[in-house]
Amino acid sequence: MMTPALLSAALLLLLLPGAPAEDSNQTPINIHVTNSVTSAPKQTYSTYVVYRGILLGAMWRLQDSNVGFSFTYTQDPNYGPFLVSVNGVSGCSADRTYWELLVKRTNETIRPDVGIGCYIPSANETIVLNFNKY
């Protein structure tokens, strides 16, 4: 049998904030939009993926939240969604421009070997959508 003191302590623990991020099913990420071709100023956004959710889901969420982020993509039959435009700027094969996907972590920046439909961000990563040339 629990004493009243133990019972109140247990109840207090249940009500305390600070549950781990996994429990709230939201993994926070930042999205930076940069341009290596024109050097336009960087735009920064915050959003989240659900547990093990894909980057594309976070991008839809951001677009739907009307914070000035928009994007389009085409569907490749082999590799899935190919990011074509961000905030009205489109890649163009004649100019050899495209949207590159980079991921900034604490000590490194990587270039994932999958696209926006397959990449699963980790907590507090910064996703960089960088307009670039190939």
User: DSSP letter at 120?
Assistant: -
Task: Please identify which residue in 95, 114, 122, 124 interacts with ligand B12, judged by CB under 6 A.
Answer: 114
Interatomic CA distance for residues 111 and 24, integer angstroms:
29
- Compare residues 30 and 100 and give the one whose CB is closer to ligand B12: 100
Q: Does position 118 bind ligand B12 by CB under 6 A?
A: yes
Per CB under 6 A, which region of 26-34, 36-44, 46-54, 96-104 contacts ligand B12? 96-104
The order of strands in the sheet holding 71-76 is: 71-76, 80-86, 89-90
Q: Does position 111 bind ligand B12 by CB under 6 A?
A: yes
Q: Does position 112 bind ligand B12 by CB under 6 A?
A: yes
Three-state secondary-structure class, residue 16: coil
Q: Give Cα separations from 115 to 6, 68, 78, 79 (angstroms).
A: 52, 22, 11, 8
Q: Does position 92 bind ligand B12 by CB under 6 A?
A: no
- Compare residues 24 and 70 and give the one whose CB is closer to ligand B12: 70
Q: Does position 79 bind ligand B12 by CB under 6 A?
A: yes
Q: Does position 86 bind ligand B12 by CB under 6 A?
A: no
Dihedral of CA atoms 93, 95, 99, 101 in degrees, nearest 10, equals 90
Q: Would you tell me which residues interact with ligand B12 (CB under 6 A)?
A: 76, 78-83, 93, 98-101, 111-116, 118, 134
